Protein backbone atom coordinates (compact mmCIF):
# COMPACT_ATOMS: atom_id res chain seq x y z
CA UNK A 1 0.00 0.00 0.00
CA UNK A 2 2.99 2.36 0.32
CA UNK A 3 4.37 1.79 -3.20
CA UNK A 4 2.72 4.94 -4.57
CA UNK A 5 1.99 7.84 -2.25
CA UNK A 6 0.08 11.06 -2.88
CA UNK A 7 -0.17 14.32 -0.98
CA UNK A 8 -2.32 15.97 0.06
CA UNK A 9 -5.12 13.44 0.49
CA UNK A 10 -7.76 16.15 0.57
CA UNK A 11 -7.67 19.64 -0.90
CA UNK A 12 -10.23 22.44 -0.96
CA UNK A 13 -9.41 25.43 -3.11
CA UNK A 14 -11.02 28.49 -4.56
CA UNK A 15 -11.17 29.11 -8.28
CA UNK A 16 -8.40 31.71 -8.12
CA UNK A 17 -5.97 29.64 -6.06
CA UNK A 18 -2.82 27.89 -7.24
CA UNK A 19 -2.02 24.53 -5.70
CA UNK A 20 0.00 21.44 -6.55
CA UNK A 21 -0.61 17.73 -6.11
CA UNK A 22 2.37 15.48 -5.46
CA UNK A 23 2.93 11.83 -6.26
CA UNK A 24 5.89 9.66 -5.36
CA UNK A 25 6.52 6.04 -6.34
CA UNK A 26 8.89 3.69 -4.54
CA UNK A 27 8.62 0.78 -6.99
CA UNK A 28 11.49 1.60 -9.34
CA UNK A 29 9.09 2.21 -12.23
CA UNK A 30 9.83 4.46 -15.20
CA UNK A 31 6.31 5.54 -16.20
CA UNK A 32 3.87 7.67 -14.21
CA UNK A 33 0.30 8.78 -14.84
CA UNK A 34 -2.37 11.22 -13.72
CA UNK A 35 -6.01 10.10 -13.83
CA UNK A 36 -9.23 11.96 -12.97
CA UNK A 37 -12.03 9.97 -11.35
CA UNK A 38 -15.47 11.61 -11.18
CA UNK A 39 -18.71 10.13 -9.95
CA UNK A 40 -20.32 7.82 -12.50
CA UNK A 41 -17.53 8.34 -15.04
CA UNK A 42 -14.69 6.09 -16.07
CA UNK A 43 -11.15 6.74 -14.98
CA UNK A 44 -9.97 9.46 -17.36
CA UNK A 45 -6.32 9.39 -18.35
CA UNK A 46 -4.88 12.90 -18.19
CA UNK A 47 -1.12 12.63 -18.63
CA UNK A 48 1.50 9.94 -19.11
CA UNK A 49 5.21 10.32 -18.49
CA UNK A 50 7.64 7.64 -19.60
CA UNK A 51 11.33 8.01 -18.82
CA UNK A 52 10.51 11.52 -17.60
CA UNK A 53 9.14 12.62 -20.97
CA UNK A 54 5.48 13.41 -21.49
CA UNK A 55 4.11 10.87 -23.96
CA UNK A 56 0.41 11.56 -23.60
CA UNK A 57 -1.68 14.65 -23.00
CA UNK A 58 -5.28 13.61 -23.32
CA UNK A 59 -6.79 16.97 -24.33
CA UNK A 60 -6.54 18.28 -20.79
CA UNK A 61 -7.23 22.02 -20.22
CA UNK A 62 -4.16 24.16 -19.67
CA UNK A 63 -5.27 24.97 -16.11
CA UNK A 64 -3.76 21.55 -15.31
CA UNK A 65 0.01 21.50 -15.72
CA UNK A 66 2.05 18.35 -15.04
CA UNK A 67 5.69 18.16 -14.05
CA UNK A 68 7.92 15.10 -13.81
CA UNK A 69 11.35 16.08 -12.43
CA UNK A 70 12.54 12.45 -12.19
CA UNK A 71 11.15 8.96 -12.55
CA UNK A 72 10.02 8.80 -8.91
CA UNK A 73 8.11 12.07 -8.65
CA UNK A 74 5.15 13.54 -10.47
CA UNK A 75 3.34 16.80 -9.82
CA UNK A 76 0.08 18.27 -11.04
CA UNK A 77 -0.02 22.05 -10.81
CA UNK A 78 -3.50 23.54 -10.57
CA UNK A 79 -4.45 27.10 -11.52
CA UNK A 80 -7.83 28.84 -11.87
CA UNK A 81 -9.82 25.65 -11.67
CA UNK A 82 -13.58 25.33 -12.16
CA UNK A 83 -16.10 23.65 -9.84
CA UNK A 84 -16.48 20.83 -12.40
CA UNK A 85 -12.82 19.98 -11.80
CA UNK A 86 -13.77 18.65 -8.38
CA UNK A 87 -12.90 14.95 -8.43
CA UNK A 88 -10.53 12.29 -7.13
CA UNK A 89 -7.12 12.65 -8.79
CA UNK A 90 -5.22 9.39 -8.93
CA UNK A 91 -1.56 8.92 -9.66
CA UNK A 92 -0.24 5.60 -10.95
CA UNK A 93 3.08 4.11 -11.98
CA UNK A 94 4.20 1.16 -14.09
CA UNK A 95 7.22 -0.21 -15.87
CA UNK A 96 7.47 0.80 -19.52
CA UNK A 97 9.03 -2.17 -21.31
CA UNK A 98 9.61 -0.73 -24.75
CA UNK A 99 5.99 0.13 -25.48
CA UNK A 100 4.37 -2.89 -23.82
CA UNK A 101 1.73 -1.83 -21.30
CA UNK A 102 2.29 -3.30 -17.86
CA UNK A 103 0.39 -3.38 -14.57
CA UNK A 104 -0.35 0.04 -13.16
CA UNK A 105 -0.10 0.63 -9.42
CA UNK A 106 -2.30 3.41 -8.09
CA UNK A 107 -1.82 5.86 -5.28
CA UNK A 108 -4.60 6.57 -2.75
CA UNK A 109 -5.69 9.71 -4.61
CA UNK A 110 -6.25 13.36 -3.74
CA UNK A 111 -9.88 14.35 -3.20
CA UNK A 112 -10.10 17.84 -4.72
CA UNK A 113 -12.98 20.21 -4.12
CA UNK A 114 -13.12 23.49 -6.04
CA UNK A 115 -15.39 26.12 -4.52
CA UNK B 1 -9.18 6.31 -30.02
CA UNK B 2 -10.13 3.30 -27.96
CA UNK B 3 -13.63 3.05 -26.50
CA UNK B 4 -14.44 0.53 -23.76
CA UNK B 5 -18.02 -0.27 -22.77
CA UNK B 6 -18.79 -2.17 -19.58
CA UNK B 7 -21.99 -3.89 -18.43
CA UNK B 8 -23.82 -4.07 -16.14
CA UNK B 9 -23.29 -0.88 -14.17
CA UNK B 10 -24.61 -2.54 -11.00
CA UNK B 11 -24.85 -6.20 -10.08
CA UNK B 12 -26.30 -7.85 -6.98
CA UNK B 13 -25.70 -11.53 -6.28
CA UNK B 14 -26.28 -13.86 -3.36
CA UNK B 15 -23.21 -15.01 -1.50
CA UNK B 16 -21.91 -18.17 -3.13
CA UNK B 17 -23.33 -17.39 -6.55
CA UNK B 18 -21.26 -16.40 -9.58
CA UNK B 19 -20.88 -12.90 -11.01
CA UNK B 20 -20.08 -12.03 -14.60
CA UNK B 21 -19.06 -8.60 -15.89
CA UNK B 22 -18.68 -7.97 -19.62
CA UNK B 23 -16.67 -5.43 -21.60
CA UNK B 24 -16.33 -4.61 -25.26
CA UNK B 25 -13.59 -2.58 -26.92
CA UNK B 26 -13.31 -0.86 -30.27
CA UNK B 27 -9.61 -0.83 -31.22
CA UNK B 28 -8.53 -4.12 -32.74
CA UNK B 29 -4.90 -3.19 -31.94
CA UNK B 30 -5.57 -3.47 -28.19
CA UNK B 31 -3.62 -6.37 -26.74
CA UNK B 32 -3.68 -5.96 -22.97
CA UNK B 33 -6.82 -6.21 -20.83
CA UNK B 34 -6.52 -5.65 -17.07
CA UNK B 35 -9.28 -5.74 -14.47
CA UNK B 36 -9.14 -3.54 -11.38
CA UNK B 37 -11.09 -3.72 -8.13
CA UNK B 38 -11.79 -0.55 -6.18
CA UNK B 39 -13.22 -0.86 -2.70
CA UNK B 40 -15.04 2.12 -1.22
CA UNK B 41 -12.58 4.90 -0.39
CA UNK B 42 -9.59 2.92 -1.62
CA UNK B 43 -7.34 2.90 -4.66
CA UNK B 44 -7.95 0.67 -7.71
CA UNK B 45 -5.93 -2.55 -7.52
CA UNK B 46 -5.22 -5.04 -10.28
CA UNK B 47 -6.94 -8.39 -9.73
CA UNK B 48 -6.22 -10.13 -13.03
CA UNK B 49 -5.11 -9.31 -16.55
CA UNK B 50 -4.92 -11.04 -19.91
CA UNK B 51 -2.94 -10.47 -23.07
CA UNK B 52 -4.21 -11.08 -26.56
CA UNK B 53 -2.22 -14.26 -27.12
CA UNK B 54 -4.34 -16.01 -24.47
CA UNK B 55 -8.06 -16.82 -24.50
CA UNK B 56 -8.60 -17.47 -20.80
CA UNK B 57 -6.79 -16.98 -17.54
CA UNK B 58 -7.73 -18.14 -14.02
CA UNK B 59 -6.61 -17.20 -10.56
CA UNK B 60 -8.47 -19.10 -7.84
CA UNK B 61 -12.08 -17.82 -7.90
CA UNK B 62 -11.43 -15.24 -10.61
CA UNK B 63 -11.22 -15.85 -14.36
CA UNK B 64 -11.07 -13.66 -17.43
CA UNK B 65 -11.98 -14.70 -20.96
CA UNK B 66 -11.08 -12.87 -24.16
CA UNK B 67 -12.65 -13.10 -27.59
CA UNK B 68 -10.47 -11.06 -29.94
CA UNK B 69 -12.65 -11.67 -32.96
CA UNK B 70 -15.72 -10.24 -31.26
CA UNK B 71 -13.65 -7.69 -29.32
CA UNK B 72 -15.06 -8.54 -25.93
CA UNK B 73 -13.74 -9.85 -22.65
CA UNK B 74 -15.39 -10.88 -19.41
CA UNK B 75 -14.63 -11.24 -15.72
CA UNK B 76 -16.03 -14.25 -13.89
CA UNK B 77 -16.09 -14.48 -10.10
CA UNK B 78 -17.23 -17.80 -8.64
CA UNK B 79 -18.36 -18.55 -5.08
CA UNK B 80 -18.75 -14.87 -4.34
CA UNK B 81 -18.08 -13.60 -0.83
CA UNK B 82 -19.10 -10.34 0.89
CA UNK B 83 -15.53 -9.05 0.57
CA UNK B 84 -15.92 -9.23 -3.21
CA UNK B 85 -18.29 -6.25 -2.95
CA UNK B 86 -16.59 -3.34 -4.75
CA UNK B 87 -16.49 -1.48 -8.06
CA UNK B 88 -14.77 -3.41 -10.84
CA UNK B 89 -13.19 -1.70 -13.84
CA UNK B 90 -12.15 -3.31 -17.08
CA UNK B 91 -9.59 -1.65 -19.33
CA UNK B 92 -7.93 -2.06 -22.70
CA UNK B 93 -4.55 -0.99 -24.00
CA UNK B 94 -2.75 -1.19 -27.32
CA UNK B 95 0.60 -0.42 -25.75
CA UNK B 96 2.72 2.63 -24.99
CA UNK B 97 1.13 3.00 -21.56
CA UNK B 98 -2.19 4.34 -22.84
CA UNK B 99 -4.99 2.54 -20.98
CA UNK B 100 -8.71 3.17 -21.55
CA UNK B 101 -11.03 2.20 -18.70
CA UNK B 102 -14.66 1.10 -18.73
CA UNK B 103 -17.28 2.90 -16.64
CA UNK B 104 -17.20 0.40 -13.79
CA UNK B 105 -19.55 -2.19 -12.29
CA UNK B 106 -20.68 -1.91 -8.71
CA UNK B 107 -20.90 -5.46 -7.37
CA UNK B 108 -22.86 -6.14 -4.22
CA UNK B 109 -22.67 -9.59 -2.65
CA UNK B 110 -25.61 -10.19 -0.33
CA UNK B 111 -24.80 -12.42 2.66
pLDDT in tens, B18-75: 999 999 999 998 999 999 999 998 999 999 999 988 899 999 999 999 999 999 999 9
Sorted by sequence, the CB contacts under 8 Å of residue A52 that are 6+ apart come out as A68, A69, A70, A71
- Look at residue A41 in the predicted model and tell me its pLDDT: 77
- B100 neighbourhood in chain A, CB within 8 Å: 42, 45
Q: Which of B43, B99, B102 sits opposite A101 (nearest CB)?
A: B99
Q: Report DSSP letters for A7-27, one per residue.
A: E-SEEEE-TT-EEEEEEEE-S
Give me the total of CB pairs closer than 8 Å, taking one residue from chain A and one from chain B. 60
Question: Which residue in the set A41, A101, A108 is minimally distant from B97, CB to CB?
Answer: A101
B93 touches chain A (CB under 8 A): yes
Amino acid sequence: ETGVTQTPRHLVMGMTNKKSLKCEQHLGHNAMYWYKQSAKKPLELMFVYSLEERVENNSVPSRFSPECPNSSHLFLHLHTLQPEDSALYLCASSQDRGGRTDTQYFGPGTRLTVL
Amino acid sequence: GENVEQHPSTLSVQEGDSAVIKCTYSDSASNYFPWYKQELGKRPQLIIDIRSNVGEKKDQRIAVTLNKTAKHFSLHITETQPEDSAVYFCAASGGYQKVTFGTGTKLQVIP
